[in-house]
Each structure stands twice: as structure tokens, then as C-alpha cells.
Structure 1
Amino acid sequence: MRLITLDRCQTGMKLGKPIYNENEKVLLAKGTELTDSLIKRLMLLNIYTVYIDDELSEGIEIVESIPKEIHLEAVSVITECLDTIAGPNLDASNIQGMIKTERAIRSFKKIFKDILSYLTENRTALNLLATTKAHSNHVYTHSLNVAIYSCQLAIENGLPLKKIEDIGMGAMLHDVGKMFISPEVLNKAGALTKDEYEYVKSHSELGFDLLRKIHEIPLTVAHCALQHHERVDGGGYPRGLREDQIHSYAKILSVADVFDAVTSHRVYRRALLPHKGIELLYSGNGTQFESKQIQLFKDCIAIYPEGLTVKLNNGTTGIVSKYNFNAVGRPIIRMIKDEEGNEIKPFEIDLSSVENLTLEIIEADELLF
């Protein structure tokens, strides 16, 4: 299967992967034949890309970084937990509210341990673009994605289990302050006014103030919420911290947070592909983000995910059929067009092999096909 933008879909194309609605239920099943009306409906749901099956991409499988059953449970747990923790009835003197909070934290810890166990046992480059979803409350899915990315980055840093668990909880809760921000402002399609931007920025301190009062949550987790927008050159917020003033957990989380934000669809902009997301991180190398964290992150991300159409420096075109974990920037490519753009009999090359080291990906986009 291959990745394609919805505006290039044609009647008769078949979905290679299911499309889910905002409640994580199957909206369109794998194998569904697209029609003009279905394509228009998907556009209204703010879906920009889909996976399709065709002869040229036959046999190319898109591997889920996290199994669907774990992903579904995680989104459910995060949704329930954030609603509970930031609920209007939570108060230190409210016994029922505290019991609910304790239960929520236990659920957080369980689902994160499931994610950590899977990532540890299944070493592969992360690709969170494998699931196509209709637009929903992105705070929940963003929190999960940042937790997965942060967990993998913490593993790459060689941190002990307890610290990885704290970083995971901090990532899951880093945007809890957005539960207090008006959805109309948070999901505004146009540019924010100066006052609106300052209002949205307040989510960091709102989240910190909430989390530091919950005794089941370590203070370091609360600092993840407070500091995930701080930058090593002092240009972040809310306190303009620099270098070692920023907690090491927040330095990890900030990389994961920005990468997921720019590679996820929002109502106000389309997502960047992973290689463009990495380029954006490198533009802030040593100024916004710690250099070590960007390099470690680059090495564990599927920069060119399976199913993506790419062009090489010799003018040929192909589809990424498999990535190499030890050389994530040099995947295996199924070649489909020659230098003149003519279709050819498909064959595969491994960009990481010695004989292909002169070949490089110079362009990658869903629109190349």
C-alpha cells in the first residue's frame, strides 16, 4: 500500500488501511472502494491523506508502532483521566474526587507500562502516521503521541525505568492545562490575536498549578507541564529558562512535543511529513532544543515511513517499502519510474547497501506519484 493525499484519490481506489472516527471507531474499513461522495465526505472530516492498495504497492505493509488495541485503550484512558484530573469537582477536600484521581493515575501508569513494554521488546523506528483519523479533540491523541515519542527518546538516552515512567506520565499530562482553555480559541482556524496567544500560553502554568497539588503525581511530572515550552536559549515560556535551568525531562519532552505538533493535522494547517518535521527540529538545534536530543530522536524515527513516494538524486521515483532501523534515513525503495518519469517494472533497492550509497532521497511527498 502507499500514502496518497485525498485530493489525488480517484473513484475506484481501495483503502489499504481503515479510517477511524473521532471516537476511535472504524469509519471506513480496509478494502473500501472510494467514490466521489466518500472522498468529499472525508474532506469535510479534515482528513488529508489515506493509504491505498494498488498493484505497484502490493505487498508493502505499514507496521503499527503501537498495536491498535493498546492505542485504543490508551486514548480511552487518557481521555477519561484528563477529564477526571481537570474535572470541575476535583478538590483536596472532596474525597470522591480524590478517589477518582487515584484511580486515574493508576490507569495512567498501567497503560504507560504496556506502551513501554511494547517499545522495549519491539525495536523499530517509530511511525505514528499509520493510523488515519477524522479530526477530534487533538489534546488526547497529542498527549498519547508525545508520551510514545518521549518514552522512545528516554530509552535512547539510556535512562532507568523509574525515570522513563516519570517522563511518560509527564508527557501524558503535559497539556492538561489546555483543558481550561476555551476550545474556540484552542482550535481557531485563523491566526491568534496577541491576547489569544497569551491566553493559550497560560496552559503551562495552569497545568503545573493543578498537578503539583495532586499528591499521587511526582513534582517532576508537574514540571513537565510547566517547562515543555521552555527553550535552551531562553526564548521559551513561561519563565524564559535557559540551558541547565530547564529540567532534563522537559528537554526530552519539548522535542517530542514539537515534532508531533507539526506532523499532525490541525484544523488551521496541514501536517508536515516526518523528514520535514526533523528538518524543523534541526533549525532549532542548540538554540531551541538540546543537540543531543535531536540527534537521538532522529535515529529512532521513521523519517521516510513505509508507503511514502520519494524521488532520488538520479531522477528515479519509488515507494518506501521498508525502513532500516540502523539507517532510518536510508530505507528500502521499490522503484516504479525511471529518470524520465516513465513507469518501469518494479524492483527494490536498499539505500543502506554499499553499492547504493551514492543514491539519496532528494524529495519526498504524497504528491510525487
Structure 2
Amino acid sequence: MRLIKLDGCKTGTRLGKSVYQENGRVLLTKGTYLTDSLIRKLMNFNVFTVYVEDEMSEGIEIVDSIPEELRVEAMNVITEGLDDIAGLNPHRSKLEQMAKSGRAVRSLQKIYKDILGSLTENRTALNLLATTKVYENHVYTHSLNVSIYACQLAIENGLPLKNIEEIGLGAMLHDLGKIYIPKEILNKPGKLTEEEYEQMKSHCELGFDHLKKIHELPLTVAHCALQHHERMDGMGYPRGLQSSEIHKYAKILSVADVFDAVTSHREYRSAMLPHQGLEILYSGSGTQFDRQQVQLFKNCIAIYPPGLTVKLNDGRTGIVSKYNFHAVGRPEIRILTDEDGQESAPYEIDLSLKEYLTVEIVEADALL
């Protein structure tokens, strides 16, 4: 199985992984042979890449970070939970809203324990590219993804279970304040005006002010919402806190938040690949992000996940066939072309044993 860009997909290509809508409904099932009309349908749903099965990628396994059924359940719980906690229904009494918030918090705690259990049991490098899903609301999707990344990073920190669960809940709720921001600002494809940017920045304090009033939540969860845009150099917002003033939970969330933001598709830009997202983190290490958290995060993700097409510095092209846990940036590659770009009989090489070789270019459609 391999990942390719949908706009380069040919009629007759066999789908390797099912494509889901946000509510869990299957849009296209694994094994479907794509036609022009099906390709157009996926494009209309803003699907940019798909996993396909073909001869050149036979035997390459793509492992989900968490089971698809759990991801679908988590998306539904988060969507309903954030809306209930935000309390946007004007017809509810204060007591009804308190009861709704309490039930939502308990549901979020339960689903996060399930996510934590799955990640602890499977202990694989995170590869959220492996999920092919249509997303209609980026706030809910982002909240789930950040909770998964933050969970793995908290585990990598060696934190106690209680702290990991608090970080997970804080990650799920860190962008609660965005529910109060107008959609035309949230989804604006161009640059925000100064006034719009100030309104967008207010989501941190809006979320904090709401979450700190919910008795079922530790105050640290509210501080995740307040501090996740603070920077180590004091140039963040809303309070301009510096390194030692920022809560450790927020330092973890900051890394997870930015990584998911830059590696996710938006209406106004394409997603970066994992290694490019990691470069963003390294470029801000020590100024925007905590150095230790950036270094630990590298161990959490699949920088070059299986199924990705790569080009080596000697000109050969192939597909990542296996992730190396002992050398996270040096996977095993199934070579398919020679140095001149001519097709060759497939063979495997392990980059951890070939120090003179590097991954020079990554292209999802280089082998089409």
C-alpha cells in the first residue's frame, strides 16, 4: 500500500484504505476501484490524498495509530462534548448547563482513557496520515489529533498516569474558545486583518474563562486553553509568559498543536509532510517551543511513514516500506527506480545501515 495524491490518481486504481466522513459514515470502502466520477466525488469532499494498493507496494503495511472505530467514536464524543461544554444553547437553565457540562467531561475522560490504553498497548510511532477521512470542522478534528500527539508526548516524558489524563483532557479542550469565534474568521483563506487577528487570539482567554468554572475539571485543564500559544521567549499570547512561567502541560500542547496544524490540510493551503512539520518545530526550538519537548516529540512520530514515496540523494526512487524505531529518520525503502529514473526490479534497503544515503525529496506522486 502507498500514499498518492488524488489529483494524479488514474481510473482503475484500487483504494487501499476506506475513506470516512467525520461522523464515521464510509464514503468509499477499501478495495473500491476508482473511476473518474469517484475521483471527482472525493475531490468535492476535499480529499487530497488516498492510500492505494498496487503491485509496486504489495506487502507494505500501514498501521493506524488508533483503531478506526475508536477514532470515529472519539470524534463523535469530542464534537458533542465541546458543544455541550461551550453552552451555546440559550434555552438551557444554569442547572441544565452544569449537568450537561458534567456529563460531557465524564464522556471525554472515558474516551481519552480508551485512546491512552490503545496507544500504550500498541506503542507505534504516530502516523495520522494513515487515516483517510473527510473533515468538516477543523476545531473538533484538531482537538482529537492534538490529544493523540500530546498523549504520546506525555508518555515519552514519563509522566504519571494522572498527569497524562489531565494533559489529554486539556488537549481535547484547548481550543474550546474557538467555538465562540465567527466561522468567517476561523476559516478565512487569506491573511487576517489586525482586528480579526485580535479576535482570533481571544480564544485562549474565552476558553479559560469558561473551563475554570466547571467544577469537574482540574484548573490545569483551563490553563491548557489559556497558555498553549505562549512562547519560551515571552513573545506569545495572551500574557506574554516566559519559559519558567509556562506550565509544562502547555509546553507539551504547544508542540502537539503546531505540528498538527501544519501537517493538516486547510482550505487555503496544503498539508506539510511529517518531516517538514518537524523542521518547523526545530526551527522554533528554544524560542517558541521548549527544547526538551521538541526532542522528545521526534521519538513519537513516524517522520517518514510507510507508504510514502521518497527520492534518495543518489537519484533512486522508492517507497518507505518499514519504520525504524532505532533510527527514526532512516526508514527501510523499497527501491523501484535506478539513479537515472529507470524502472528496476524492486529491492529493499535499510537507510540505518547506509549512512551516505539521505532522503532528498518526498513526493506523493513521483511513481505515477
8 Å Cα contact 2:60-2:321 kept in structure 1: yes
Give the whole-Å Cα distance in 2 for the aligned partners of 1:97 and 1:134.
31
What per-residue deviation string (whole Å, max 9, x for no partner) do you get for residues 4-41 of structure 1? 11111111111111111232211011111112222222
Identical pairs, percent: 68
8 Å Cα contact 2:22-2:72 kept in structure 1: no
- Note if 1:129 corresponds to 2:129: yes
Matches within 5 A, 1:134-283: 134-283=134-283
Give the whole-Å Cα distance in 1 for the aligned partners of 2:114 and 2:272.
29
Q: CA RMSD in A?
A: 1.4
Comparing 33-42 with 216-225, which one deviates more in the overlay? 33-42
8 Å Cα contact 1:313-1:359 kept in structure 2: yes
Matches within 5 A, 1:92-103: 94-103=94-103
TM-score after normalising by structure 2: 0.97
Give the whole-Å Cα distance in 2 for the aligned partners of 1:245 and 1:343.
56
Match of 2:68 in 1: 68
8 Å Cα contact 1:251-1:293 kept in structure 2: yes
What per-residue deviation string (whole Å, max 9, x for no partner) do you get for residues 273-309 of structure 1? 0000001111101110011111100111100011000
Instruction: Give, in angstroms, the shift of residue 42 of structure 1.
Output: 1.7
> Which of 357, 360, 365 is the matching residue for 2:358?
360
What per-residue deviation string (whole Å, max 9, x for no partner) do you get for residues 216-253 of structure 1? 11111000000001110111111111111111100000
8 Å Cα contact 2:207-2:222 kept in structure 1: yes
Instruction: Give, in angstroms, the shift of residue 257 of structure 1.
Output: 0.2
TM-score after normalising by structure 1: 0.97
Q: Which amino acid aligns with 1:329?
A: G
Matches within 5 A, 1:6-85: 6-85=6-85
Instruction: Give, in angstroms, the shift of residue 92 of structure 1.
Output: 11
Give the whole-Å Cα distance in 2 for the aligned partners of 1:323 and 1:215.
43
8 Å Cα contact 2:23-2:75 kept in structure 1: no
8 Å Cα contact 2:45-2:134 kept in structure 1: yes
Instruction: Give, in angstroms, the shift of residue 89 of structure 1.
Output: 4.2
Match of 2:311 in 1: 311
Structure 2 CA distance for partners of 1:185 and 1:341, relative to 1, 3 Å = same
Q: Which amino acid aligns with 2:18?
A: P
Instruction: Give, in angstroms, the shift of residue 344 of structure 1.
Output: 0.9
Structure 2 CA distance for partners of 1:270 and 1:217, relative to 1, 3 Å = same
Give the whole-Å Cα distance in 1 for the aligned partners of 2:93 and 2:41.
48
Q: Secondary structure at the match of 1:336?
A: strand
Q: Which amino acid aligns with 1:88?
A: L
8 Å Cα contact 1:2-1:52 kept in structure 2: yes
Comparing 32-41 with 52-61, which one deviates more in the overlay? 32-41
Give the whole-Å Cα distance in 1 for the aligned partners of 2:326 and 2:75.
30
Give the whole-Å Cα distance in 2 for the aligned partners of 1:90 and 1:62.
45
Instruction: Give, in angstroms, the shift of residue 326 of structure 1.
Output: 2.3
Figure out how many residues of one structure are paired with residues of the other and give that number.
Answer: 367
Comparing 167-176 with 45-54, which one deviates more in the overlay? 45-54
Matches within 5 A, 1:275-354: 275-353=275-353
Structure 1: give runs of 5+ residues left out of the alignment: none
Instruction: Give, in angstroms, the shift of residue 358 of structure 1.
Output: 2.1
8 Å Cα contact 1:92-1:98 kept in structure 2: no
Instruction: Give, in angstroms, the shift of residue 88 of structure 1.
Output: 2.4
Q: Secondary structure at the match of 2:32?
A: coil
Instruction: Give, in angstroms, the shift of residue 91 of structure 1.
Output: 11
Q: Which amino acid aligns with 2:326?
A: N
Instruction: Give, in angstroms, the shift of residue 166 of structure 1.
Output: 0.6
Q: Secondary structure at the match of 1:327?
A: coil
Structure 2 CA distance for partners of 1:91 and 1:253, relative to 1, 3 Å = farther
Give the whole-Å Cα distance in 1 for the aligned partners of 2:22 and 2:172.
19
Structure 2: give runs of 5+ residues left out of the alignment: none
Q: Secondary structure at the match of 1:330?
A: coil
Instruction: Give, in angstroms, the shift of residue 93 of structure 1.
Output: 6.8
Instruction: Give, in angstroms, the shift of residue 90 of structure 1.
Output: 8.0
